[in-house]
Amino acid sequence: MNIGEVSERAGLPPKTIRYYEDIGLVRPLRSDNGYRAFRESDIHKLAFLGRARTLGFSIEDCRTLLDLYEDESRESAQVKSVAKEHLTAIDRKIAQLKSMRQTLSHLVDACQGDYRPDCPILEDLAKGS
């Protein structure tokens, strides 16, 4: 199967698929004409990767997860460990964004947003919190 159809079926842009091959996440065969020839297993892997990426896993995490997926002798604890670390990273990011949101929304509320130059937002930025 050529990259275009694979792209549709796996839900990933061709560019991304080529990139994943570059970094060794998938290893499609090649046809005589030089085109990539994907097997069902490749599509399956790509869909796996797409799903893992939407959950926010890094490429390296994806590599690890894919390896574990294909390792019959894996222990689920290994998978859980990767997922838990990612979860705490997500929590950190959420906390950080919420903190920004908090400050920023106060400032936005305090700003008149009219034709006059006076602005609490700029005043805050200028003198630190």
Partner DNA sequence: CTAAGGCTTCCAGTTGCGGGAAGCTCAAGA
Partner DNA sequence: TCTTGAGCTTCCCGCAACTGGAAGCCTTAG
Give contact residues for its own copies (rule: CB under 8 A): 44, 47-48, 51-52, 54-56, 65, 68-69, 71-77, 79-81, 83-84, 86-87, 90-91, 93-94, 97-98, 100-101, 103-105, 107-108, 111-119, 121-122, 124-126, 128-129
What does 36 bind: its own copies, DNA, none (CB cut-off 5 to 8 Å by kind)? DNA
**Using rule CB under 7 A, residue 16 touches DNA:** yes
Which of 9, 10, 11, 19 touches DNA (CB under 7 A)?
A: 19
Alpha-carbon distances of 34 from 3, 7, 8, 28, 29, rounded to whole Å: 12, 18, 21, 11, 9
Q: Which residue is it, tokens 């839900």?
A: 11
**Using rule CB under 7 A, residue 53 touches DNA:** yes
- What gap in Å lies between CA 43 and CA 1, rounded to an integer? 10
**Whether 27 contacts 45, CB under 8 Å:** no
Residues 6+ apart with CB under 8 A from 25: 45, 49, 59, 62, 63, 66
What does 3 bind: its own copies, DNA, none (CB cut-off 5 to 8 Å by kind)? DNA
Which of 9, 10, 11, 14 touches DNA (CB under 7 A)?
A: 14
